[in-house]
Amino acid sequence: MAVLTRDGRHEVAPRPVDVARASPAEATAALSAFVAGVRARDAAALASLAPAGRPASEDLLAGIAANAASLDLRAVTARYVDQVGVVGDDGSWSGVAEVTWRLGGLEVQAARTDVAVTFAPDADGLGIVGFGTAAAPATRVPLWLRGRLAVSRAPGVLVMVDGDRDVAEAFVDRAVRGVDVVRRVLARFRGPVVVEVPATAADLDASLGVPPGTYSGIAAVTASAGSTAEDDAPTHVFVNPEVTAGLRRAGAQVVMTHELVHVATDAVRSPVEPWLREGFADYVALRDTRLPDRTALGRAIEAARRDGVPKALPTAADLNTRAADLQARYEEAWLACRVIAERLGERKLLEVYRAARRGVSSAWSLQRAGLAPDTLIRAWQARLRRYVS
């Protein structure tokens, strides 16, 4: 109803409008039912949380029940935090939940991360549509929340794959071989080893909560299983299937062994300088291979022929996932560690690395071990020049 006021303006009497709203209480109830279904490994109970008429959501949720059983998920919680984005015309909306979980028999500390959950109205309140949304790009989508996975195990090793069991078993074999190689240098390494293999590179980025394309050119990365990296938080190896699929068997093995060095040395939480961290991992991974040096340094040689021999060891920026000539920088870091081992012996290289893990600068520990940093760089440059000429 409109009325005329003294100043000539028309005002309209307010009328009640039925606007769809997010309900934190209903979201909390849905998440509580979800956690109960996961803990019970109850596929039917989880599938019933999908809104009516959404078979894909039913399949997703039922698959999560299977994952809970095959992964022996424990300490699972999901606490509603806040709404993200707006409510859609159909009443669907997304919220952030803090989710925790751990792998029984392998991990003591639970992983913890924020996960975006999409909800939609259902006859009984609010149903769960799925996980992940562009409205909350900083959140992660743990692999076990992506539907039924293929899971394979060996003593101390677990692999989960968004794919078939043959792929999972192949990665288990690769991880077992990698552990054996790592122990030749780091004899005390016992694991556990957990490997996650999403279906695509985009899924890898989503699993890690990073911007799209961050790991598109990376074969694998070792990272905390959740968003936090406390001293005892679990660390997993995350594989980019689109890159590793193009590698030969030997190359794929080197990638896995490299990442297992990071697991064995707790590189996620260590203050080791990037060139030493990555170079040492490649040193261990390539130590017993028969790969000719010119092949192992192929990209570094090409870069040196084009741009000249580098004046300094690779920096953190040089080893960023999106840096130009990234593979060349990795090879240069490997060569630096190779030179240290040749000059001082493998035991001294290991001492330098262990000192770096304690926060000691590589320059100081190298000097103490008997190799001045400037001497290392000159020897490293001389080796590159030898291959370039």
pLDDT in tens, 98-111: 999 999 999 999 99
Instruction: Fill in the DSSP letter of residue 110.
Output: P
User: d(Cα 27, Cα 10) in Å, to the nearest integer?
Assistant: 41
Query: In sequence order, what are the residues at sequence separation of 6 or more whose Cβ sits closer than 8 angstroms to the Cβ of residue 292?
Result: none
Instruction: State the residue for tokens 């990795």.
Output: 330
User: d(Cα 160, Cα 144) in Å, to the nearest integer?
Assistant: 8
Number of other CB atoms surrounding residue 122 within 10 Å: 20
Are 248 and 325 contacting, i.e. CB atoms less than 8 angstroms apart? no
Six token digits for residue 259: 């990442």
User: d(Cα 143, Cα 329) in Å, to the nearest integer?
Assistant: 30
Phi, psi of 116 (to 5 degrees): -80, 130
Tens of pLDDT, residues 166-181: 999 999 999 999 999 9
Pairing outcome for strands 2-4 and 10-12: antiparallel
For residue 8, what pLDDT band results from cuts at 50, 70 and 90?
low
User: d(Cα 312, Cα 217) in Å, to the nearest integer?
Assistant: 24
CA–CA distances in Å: residue 136 to residues 61, 85, 139, 140, 266: 21, 8, 6, 9, 29
User: d(Cα 309, Cα 301) in Å, to the nearest integer?
Assistant: 9
User: d(Cα 186, Cα 36) in Å, to the nearest integer?
Assistant: 41
pLDDT for position 5 = 46
pLDDT for position 190 = 87
CA–CA distances in Å: residue 165 to residues 159, 252, 262, 356: 10, 18, 26, 39
* Between residues 9 and 181, the one the model is more confident about: 181
Encoded amino acid at 158, one letter: L
Does pLDDT of 148 surpass 50? yes
For residue 14, what pLDDT band results from cuts at 50, 70 and 90?
low
**Candidates 3.40.720, 3.30.70, 3.30.2010, 1.10.20; CATH matching 149-265:** 3.30.2010
Does pLDDT of 17 surpass 50? no
Does pLDDT of 37 surpass 70? yes
Q: Percent helix, strand and coil across the chain, each rounded to 5? A: 45, 20, 35
Q: Where are the domains of the chain?
A: 25-143, 149-265, 270-389
Are 358 and 339 contacting, i.e. CB atoms less than 8 angstroms apart? no
The helix (H) or strand (E) run that includes residue 361 is none
pLDDT for position 389 = 79
Q: Give the percent of the chain with pLDDT over 90.
A: 88
User: d(Cα 193, Cα 209) in Å, to the nearest integer?
Assistant: 21
Are 108 and 232 contacting, i.e. CB atoms less than 8 angstroms apart? yes
Pairing outcome for strands 93-103 and 73-84: antiparallel
* Between residues 34 and 124, the one the model is more confident about: 34
Q: Could you tell me where the beta strands, DSSP code E, fall in 104-199?
A: 111-122, 125-131, 150-154, 157-161, 193-197
The helix (H) or strand (E) run that includes residue 269 is none
Number of other CB atoms surrounding residue 214 within 10 Å: 17
Phi, psi of 194 (to 5 degrees): -125, 125
pLDDT for position 18 = 47
CATH code for the part of the protein at 25-143: 3.10.450.50
User: d(Cα 328, Cα 330) in Å, to the nearest integer?
Assistant: 5
User: d(Cα 356, Cα 351) in Å, to the nearest integer?
Assistant: 9
Tens of pLDDT, residues 60-114: 999 999 999 999 999 999 999 999 999 999 999 999 999 999 999 999 999 999 9
Tens of pLDDT, residues 192-242: 999 999 999 999 999 999 999 999 999 999 999 998 767 788 999 999 999
Q: Give the residue-averaged pLDDT of 291-304.
A: 94
Q: Is the dihedral of CA 106, 253, 145, 269 positive or negative?
A: positive
Q: Tell me the β-bridge partners of 111.
A: 101
pLDDT for position 2 = 43
pLDDT for position 233 = 87
Instruction: Report the side by side order of strands in the sheet with 111-122.
Output: 73-84, 93-103, 111-122, 125-131
pLDDT for position 1 = 43
Instruction: State the residue for tokens 């959140």.
Output: 139
* Between residues 124 and 189, the one the model is more confident about: 189
Of 17-21, 74-78, 123-127, 234-238, least confident by mean pLDDT is 17-21
For residue 253, what pLDDT band results from cuts at 50, 70 and 90?
very high
Query: In sequence order, what are the residues at sequence separation of 6 or more whose Cβ sits closer than 8 angstroms to the Cβ of residue 182?
Result: 189, 257, 260, 261, 264, 284
Are 228 and 100 contacting, i.e. CB atoms less than 8 angstroms apart? no
Are 57 and 128 contacting, i.e. CB atoms less than 8 angstroms apart? yes
Six token digits for residue 211: 């911007």
Six token digits for residue 168: 């999972």
